[in-house]
Amino acid sequence: MTDRNSVFISYCHRDRELMEEFRTHLAPLAKRGRLEFWVDSKIDAGDSWLEEIDNALDRASVAVMLVSKHFLASNFIMDYEVPYLLDAKEKDGVKLFQVVLGRCCYNLCEELSTFQAVNKPEKPLQALSEVERDEVWVELTNKIVGALGLDATKPMLKWDRRKPEKQAANIADVRVVRGDLSEQDVDAIVISASHHLNGDEGGMEERIHAVAGPELREFLADKRPLTYGQSVISPGFDVRAKRIIHASVPAWRGGTKGELELLNSCYRKALDLARENGARTVAFGTLGIGGKRMPIEIATDVAFRAMSDFLASNPPTGTQLSIVCWDEATETAVKNVQRALSKNTKEPVEKVVAGV
């Protein structure tokens, strides 16, 4: 089973206003990397929409159904999404929550009425005041926090209160070098991987597969598909590194489709895998840059901040993180971001880089 770490929101487009109201309550947690939420507005024109929905359903650990007369009348929702989610609840333990938005024939839908809604169906959200709706959304958000197993004894919005100098020092400790990632003599390297982990999309992934040999592709056969934001680890085979961590980085779509949250998730999960597997020296490729088309300043900002947080979490003695750049231009750009963030970690990177 694919590792699940996301909240999937199932709703009808005619109820978008209430869906957006709910997303507002989840947004602070998503911004801090505590959870990822997915709605179909993240699908761009030209995308394979069914594949995108399948991927989102596959990585969901929690699903929220916003039930209304429009929801119940939707053939796609009732014939595809709801059966998938009910099956995932039974087989994979996915937690399902329902909110009744408006008066509807909810009680006649056997598959939904068998488990309790967050609010009382006779008091749908559309009949409530904004304050009363917020109470329902807060209750639901707390239920999601519990379902995800987040530590309720700690403040959920634990903003980084470390001194900026400490965070800047951690960023300065990350090595930035130019070279070939496949030749790095380290415990683990981290590459941007394709959804199918087959190494045929070009770039560094293709090179790593070529150097590692056919055993790598065979090893990854049962790890597919790798959903966005996830990472898996493999032996290094014929590359110099002992292990390879494969991170599924999404393509850049303007920053409005959750790309930065997913990129941050890739770094966090890759670093967790490194720690769990005893890798103390870890070399990252320039994730998100190049074929994924992320602006280098933005992708590198995510990288340095994720690494800084990891270095602040008391990693094993001797931990050394590095970013390996393929060419001089990339190395210069990455070092510019590092130098800027080492001076000022409070401002958005676009501002501090402009002052370098």
CATH for 320 = 3.40.220.10
pLDDT of residue 272: 93
Residues 197 and 343 in one domain: yes
Using CA atoms of 284, 288, 289, 291 in order, give the dihedral in degrees to the nearest 10: 120
DSSP helix/strand/coil, 284: strand
User: Which residue in this structure is represented by tokens 């070939």?
Assistant: 180
**Helices marked H in the chain — which ranges?**
16-31, 49-58, 69-73, 75-76, 82-92, 110-113, 130-147, 164-173, 203-212, 214-220, 259-276, 296-311, 328-343, 349-354
Rounded CA separation 212/209 (Å): 5
Rounded CA separation 353/337 (Å): 6
Rounded CA separation 191/200 (Å): 14
- Determine contact, residues 197/246, Cβ cutoff 8 Å: yes
Residue at 157 is within a domain = no
The rounded mean pLDDT for the chain is 83
CATH number at residue 23: 3.40.50.10140
Q: For 54, left (φ over 0), alpha (ψ -120 to 50), or beta? A: alpha
pLDDT of residue 328: 92
Residues 205 and 258 in one domain: yes
Residues in the chain: 356
Residues 115 and 243 in one domain: no
Residues 12 and 135 in one domain: yes
Residues 138 and 185 in one domain: no
Residue at 299 is within a domain = yes
Per the structure, how many domains does the chain have?
Answer: 2
Domain holding 106, by residue range, is 6-147
Q: Which residues of the chain have a pLDDT value below 50?
A: 1-4, 42-49, 152-162, 348-356
Going by C-alpha positions, the residue among 171, 164, 190 that lies closest to residue 336 is: 171
pLDDT of residue 149: 77
Using CA atoms of 266, 269, 270, 272 in order, give the dihedral in degrees to the nearest 10: 160
Residue at 153 is within a domain = no
Going by C-alpha positions, the residue among 156, 199, 194 that lies closest to residue 35 is: 156
Residues 274 and 170 in one domain: yes
Residues 225 and 261 in one domain: yes
Q: Among the three residues 119, 147, 175, which one is the final residue of a domain in this structure?
A: 147
pTM above threshold 0.75: no
